[in-house]
Amino acid sequence: MIRKFIFGNPIETEALVDSQSIQGMSVEKPGQGIPHFAARLAGEESSWELALDMGERDIIYGLGENIRGINKRGWIYESNCTDDPVHTEGRRELYAAHNFFLVDGRERLGVFVDAPQKVTFDFGYSRRDRLVVTVDPGGFVLYILEGGSSRQIVREFRGIIGRSYIPPRWAFGYGQSRWGYMCEDDIRQVVREHRKKGVGLDSVYMDIDYMEDYKDFTVNQERFPDFPRFVQEMRDQKVHLVPIIDAGVKIQEGYPVYEEGVKEGYFCKKEDQTEFVGGVWPGRVHFPDMLNEKARAWFGDQYKFLLDQGIDGFWNDMNEPALFYGEDHLAEVFEKLEEYSGQELDIQSFFAVKDLVLGLAGRKEDYRTFYHEYRGQRVRHDRVHNLYGYYMTRAAGEAFDRLKPDKRILMFSRASYVGMHRYGGLWTGDNCSWWSHLLMNLQMLPGLNMCGFLYSGADLGGFGDDATEDLLLRWLELGIFVPLMRNHSAKGTRRQEFYGFDHAEDFRGIIGLRYGLLPYLYSEFMKAALTGDMMFLPLSFVYPEDPEAAGVEDQLMVGDGMMIAPVYRQNARGRYVYLPEDMKLYRMRGVDSLESQVLPAGHHYVRAELNEVLVFVRRGHVVPMSEGGCCVEDVDMSSLRLLHFVETEGVYELYYDDGERKDVRLEEGITRILVRADKTVETEGLLSPRCQLI
């Protein structure tokens, strides 16, 4: 059951596919019959506060991309899309605003706070047993979902927010990226090393250096003299190039995107109707008004420039939107600095000077100085801040539907809001090469799925700071299960392509497993997308009666038949694993190197050497694997190996399609694989693979 409560005059976000069909009650004053929550008005401009008393053992799941554990209880989080590259435990907000959570305990309810402005989630931070949601002024819609299991509540939520984005199948292959590939040869080297050493690769990412002066929808002619030819050269090697697109448009005479945008009035303007100027990588920029329908269509059409040259995938960056400085405020800072200059600074003034300079980036006040034309109204940016990345990605997604109606285009974004999940996936931004961030990557996955973000992933190996070989291997051992599997790192950090390290064979084995597991992973992804389910689940979603499962923060269920327990500690050669039921453990070094053993329910210490991955298959389940390959299109579906834990019988419904079509139906792609106790296998449906039990 879904109930809807309307507070004040909310701004439509289009998070839901059809918000009108759910009957709503408007809430004018506190104490007006909202179930579970006590509502009150607080703050100067009157923001709403919703409070709920929690039971001692209540668990809170959700909030998608945010820091800390799977159970979000015990911290305070903010939805306020922010470009901050240091994701430490003390942070409250990252790049995304995913306002859906689920309280599971004394009562079980799903809660979606549909508000494009800042929202704060105090989950037992101020008071251990109290949950308080604070919504900044401006109105919002509250949805409360009840009835059924946690998984059912999530499915119901996913039903109202619409089908998740589905990428082309090649986007499930391994992607190599680095901020700093400057020219054709840098990219050729990546491909050459992968192909030479037989380590899988499907895509190479192009960061901002491929552009001319960081201008969107340009390609640097000196470094990529014949881009369409180069794109084709890579395609001949079965590699897709994936360029980055930034939100800010460089202010430069003669640059058509800039000139057209100004002429048509497509950029965000200030109170005085002049364009807002910010500073980002291209220098001075304007921000396209992604919320304005016409501007959005126009911005989306720009992707054609690259599509026409053979590009079929993109990543949208800096769309919180990130702001190194706002030009007006920069002028104020210079003025103040002028006052200090020549003076003898005492320590207070020194810190004042320092704060002035450090306070330039992402300054909240700057977000109050420009406006959008949204649904016929002029709306100040901070009121809709969390929609910007969503609407930028929507611009692209809608354009792809017009420009490439029959072909899936890869798209993922940094900033996001619920609703964007229909147009693209996401990556979780600038993490660091830290062991703690490997675990954080795992812990974010279920929350992301709850909010509709299935095609998502973190920078494997870590973006900031220096990676080591063992960290990268361990991280890849999680990454092979995650739809967006990309190794990315920052300029200035240690290189982290596999070939910079000593043991190519270990990387070949681990990355090879991704291609081996592809039949299962793609199939589980598609089933999750097409039925509104999760692909990564906390153990408690599958074993709700097991109190120990509820406390597990470092293992996940992956699809229907599998549990994973990655190693995420430096120097560990194994780990403790909790099994809610008997399972069959496969310890794998590569597609051709695996051993298995049945383990009884309970706690175990399980060995896992640096080059070994642990996969646990549930009783009665079958997990199909391919023989591997060096890219997705080489994965052979005619010959499958079946991981299985079958005592009586086990069935797997394998989904498959051409990997490209947008218009997909689950029923059309199913092959039923039946494994019997006597070890015979029968298949029926779309494919007729040869099957071998392993």
> Interface residues with ligand MIG (CB under 6 A)?
179, 207-208, 244, 317-318, 414, 429-430, 488
Which of residues 10 and 424 has its CB atom nearest to ligand MIG in the complex? Answer: 424
Which of residues 211 and 577 has its CB atom nearest to ligand MIG in the complex? Answer: 211
Q: Considering only CA atoms, which of 427, 463, 472, 366 is closest in space to residue 85?
A: 463
Distances (CA, A) of 26 to 46, 140, 152, 189: 17, 10, 26, 60
Q: Considering only CA atoms, which of 133, 135, 136 is closest in space to residue 124?
A: 133
Smallest gap from residue 430 Cβ to ligand MIG (A): 5
Which of residues 371 and 417 has its CB atom nearest to ligand MIG in the complex? Answer: 417
Which of residues 448 and 521 has its CB atom nearest to ligand MIG in the complex? Answer: 448
Which of residues 59 and 245 has its CB atom nearest to ligand MIG in the complex? Answer: 245
Which of residues 424 and 624 has its CB atom nearest to ligand MIG in the complex? Answer: 424
Q: How many CA atoms, within 13 angstroms, populate the side-chain half-sphere of residue 294?
A: 11
Strand runs labelled E in 137-230: 140-146, 174-176, 203-206
Smallest gap from residue 179 Cβ to ligand MIG (A): 4
Residues 6+ apart with CB under 8 A from 184: 223, 224, 230
Beta bridge partners of 537: 557
Smallest gap from residue 254 Cβ to ligand MIG (A): 24
Beta bridge partners of 221: none
Residue-wise over 300-334: b if at least 16 C-beta within 10 A, else e?
Answer: bbbbeebbebbbbbbbbbbbbbbbbbbebbbeebe
Q: CA 63, CA 65: separation in Å to the nearest integer?
A: 6
User: What tokens does 693 get?
Assistant: 């039990």
Which of residues 84 and 546 has its CB atom nearest to ligand MIG in the complex? Answer: 84
Which of residues 432 and 608 has its CB atom nearest to ligand MIG in the complex? Answer: 432
> Residue with the closest Cβ to ligand MIG?
179
Which of residues 278 and 429 has its CB atom nearest to ligand MIG in the complex? Answer: 429
DSSP alpha helix (H) spans, 256-303: 256-264, 293-302
Secondary element (H or E) of residue 150: helix 150-161
Q: CA 423, CA 166: separation in Å to the nearest integer?
A: 9
Smallest gap from residue 178 Cβ to ligand MIG (A): 8
Smallest gap from residue 250 Cβ to ligand MIG (A): 14
Which of residues 318 and 420 has its CB atom nearest to ligand MIG in the complex? Answer: 318
Residues 6+ apart with CB under 8 A from 344: none
Smallest gap from residue 317 Cβ to ligand MIG (A): 5
Sheet of 649-655, strands arranged across: 649-655, 670-676, 681-685
Is the bond leading into 321 cis (omega within 30 degrees of zero)?
Answer: yes
Smallest gap from residue 295 Cβ to ligand MIG (A): 23
Smallest gap from residue 76 Cβ to ligand MIG (A): 24
Smallest gap from residue 367 Cβ to ligand MIG (A): 17
Which of residues 207 and 524 has its CB atom nearest to ligand MIG in the complex? Answer: 207
Which of residues 69 and 429 has its CB atom nearest to ligand MIG in the complex? Answer: 429
Angle between helix axes 435-450 and 469-479 (nearest 10 degrees) is 20
Smallest gap from residue 315 Cβ to ligand MIG (A): 8
Residues 6+ apart with CB under 8 A from 499: 193, 194, 197, 199
Which of residues 282 and 624 has its CB atom nearest to ligand MIG in the complex? Answer: 282
Is residue 320 within 8 A of residue 414, CB to CB? The reply is: yes
User: What tokens does 89 get?
Assistant: 């435990």
Smallest gap from residue 318 Cβ to ligand MIG (A): 6
Smallest gap from residue 324 Cβ to ligand MIG (A): 8
Smallest gap from residue 496 Cβ to ligand MIG (A): 13
Q: CA 165, CA 342: separation in Å to the nearest integer?
A: 57
Which of residues 440 and 613 has its CB atom nearest to ligand MIG in the complex? Answer: 440
Is residue 425 within 8 A of residue 411, CB to CB? The reply is: yes
Smallest gap from residue 209 Cβ to ligand MIG (A): 8
Q: CA 337, CA 229: separation in Å to the nearest integer?
A: 51
Ramachandran category for residue 602: left, alpha or beta (phi over 0 → left; psi -120 to 50 → alpha)? left
**Start-to-end C-alpha separation, the chain:** 44
